């Protein structure tokens, strides 16, 4: 039974540290969340995508029709009405939204207030 509690406590500690680490400002810079690759952008919408690029969404810059900023969520809409939601900390979302506007200058920008 003691082994169970050690494993449980270790797992919970790992999850808390991992979650804190991935929400840190260092891992949520605009360049890490929206990685500019010339004509395309790798959108790292999930926290694990920041560590594993294979989990990124690759999208061409001209495909983005609208950028929507809501509290803690940045959504990129394509011309084909597909959407990519990126949930972020309130500490970094404004910086990432501003960066998205620079990456996708022809996209409409919509800011939804609380």
Domain boundaries, the chain: 2-111
Which position has the higher pLDDT, 15 or 21?
15
Has this prediction a pTM greater than 0.85? no
Reference 35, options 58, 15, 62, 18; nearest CA is 58
21-79, pLDDT tens digit by residue? Answer: 666 777 789 999 999 999 999 999 887 787 788 889 999 999 999 999 999 899 999 99
pLDDT reported for residue 110: 96
Q: Phi/psi class of residue 100: alpha, beta or left (left: φ > 0; alpha: ψ in -120 to 50)? A: alpha
Mean pLDDT, range 90-103, rounded to an integer: 94
Would you say domain 2-111 falls under CATH 2.40.50? Answer: no
Strand 64-70 and strand 108-111: the pairing is parallel
Average pLDDT for 6-35 = 84
Contacts of 59 (CB under 8 A, 6+ apart): 40, 41, 43, 76, 78, 84
User: How many angstroms from the chain centroid is the CA of residue 61?
Assistant: 16
């Amino acid at each position: 039974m003691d082994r169970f509690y050690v494993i449980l406590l270790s797992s919970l500690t790992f999850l808390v540290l991992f979650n804190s680490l991935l929400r840190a400002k260092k891992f949520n810079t605009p360049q890490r969340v929206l990685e500019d690759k010339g004509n395309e952008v790798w959108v790292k919408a999930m926290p694990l995508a920041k560590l594993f690029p294979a989990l990124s969404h690759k999208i061409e810059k001209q495909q983005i029709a609208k950028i929507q900023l809501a509290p803690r969520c940045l959504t990129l809409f394509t011309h084909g009405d597909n959407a990519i939601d990126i949930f972020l900390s309130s500490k970094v979302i404004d910086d990432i939204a501003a960066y998205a506007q620079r990456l996708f200058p022809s996209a409409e920008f919509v800011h939804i207030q609380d």
